[in-house]
Amino acid sequence: MRLRRGRKGLTRLAMLSVLTMTTTGCGALLLEDKGPLPPRHSGPPLPADTVVSDLTAALKAEGITLERTPQELIPTECQERLTGEHESATADTAVQAGFDRARSDHGWQSGREMGEGWLVLRKGNWTAATVLPDASGADAAQTSLIVITLMCDGGRSKSSPTDSARPSPAAS
């Protein structure tokens, strides 16, 4: 019986303190809007051609030739996709060496960890990410597909050309 009264008393005390914080405005400090977050990078934004050139040069030195996907095939603004092939048996080490070369020769920095098998680099307002190709059980005659995605800070979905031609509901 005493235990039940003790729990009721603690519950009432907790609810009273929450009510007091709400009515006095103490809780409002926790919810105050502090404005937008500062940008992740400092300095002017880098052009896409610069970052694509850096990565293609670094990986070409390791024997991987990358092709740039045309922009009309990419649904996101401020995004680039590079694809290439390399023999499966050494693809993972070649990609790793290419990313290391991008760090040492082109000024890229290690990016945020995304998990095992991922390689992530940052430079200015751009992030490059790829998954290491799996070389387990690979035959030397096979090739692995390598895909590197580059995304700039603040990238958004592109509006389709039909969206701008369509009248808005407010206009009718």
Dist. CA 18–CA 82, nearest whole Å: 53
- Give the rounded distance of the alpha carbon of 5 from its chain centre: 52
Per-residue pLDDT at 17? 67
Per-residue pLDDT at 165? 44
Mean local confidence (pLDDT), 105-118 = 91
**Lateral strand order in the sheet of 118-123:** 66-68, 79-87, 143-152, 126-131, 118-123, 109-110
Classify each residue of 54-65 as buried b or exposed e, where b means 16 or more C-beta atoms within 10 Å of its C-beta. bbbebbeebebe
Name every residue whose Cβ is closer than 8 Å to that of residue 20 and which is 6 or more positions away in sequence. 26
pTM (predicted TM-score) = 0.66
Q: Does the pLDDT value for residue 170 go beyond 60? A: no
Q: Does the pLDDT value for residue 108 go beyond 60? A: yes
Per-residue pLDDT at 171? 42
Mean local confidence (pLDDT), 115-139 = 85
